[in-house]
Amino acid sequence: MSREAHSLLRRQAASASLEARPADPRIEKILLAIEEEPFCGVQELASLVNLSSSRLSHLFKAATGVSLQTFLSDLRLERAAELLQSTDMPIKEISYQVGYRHAPSFVRAFRNKIGYSPHDFRSRQRVVLRDSEFG
């Protein structure tokens, strides 16, 4: 599993006091699929294990303590934060790269999760980096 996905699942599973690796082989298959293609949707994942998206979401939450949609969203936003910190890529491009079809939806989700707009987050990270270099 990618460090990013594994780290996120461990944090979420730990907060729900569950094992990081679920016992259900369908959920394990989904986690492996997310590792290979982190920005696929719930419907795509459900078809991999021959379940409806609602049934998969129910099983995923029961196995991990977090909803599949929340897990995928958090993974996307975590990757976006890394790209905002480490690249000068335009925010619109980052939104597409992490799986959002519409940049305004990405900006809204990022602000709700992180507490800052992507632009403000990037600016703050640069100030922190600059201060640490000279401080």
Per-residue pLDDT of the chain (135 residues; tens, 9 = 90+): 445 554 555 455 444 434 455 678 999 999 999 888 878 899 999 999 999 999 999 999 999 899 999 999 999 999 999 999 999 999 999 999 998 989 999 999 999 999 999 999 999 887 665 556 555
Q: How far is CA 92 from CA 96, 97, 101, 116, 125, in A?
A: 7, 9, 10, 16, 18
Q: How far is CA 83 from CA 12, 71, 90, 98, 107, in A?
A: 22, 18, 10, 9, 14
Q: Are residues 30 and 62 in the same domain?
A: yes
Q: Which amino acid is residue 119, in one-letter code?
A: H
End of a domain among 66, 82, 99? Answer: 66
Q: Are residues 56 and 99 in the same domain?
A: no
In a domain? residue 20: yes
- Model-level pTM? 0.75
Domain that holds residue 59: 3-66
Which two tokens mark 27?
């959920």
Q: Are residues 45 and 12 in the same domain?
A: yes
CA-CA distance, 47 to 37, in Å (whole number)?
14
In a domain? residue 73: no
In a domain? residue 79: no
Provide the domain count of the chain. Answer: 2
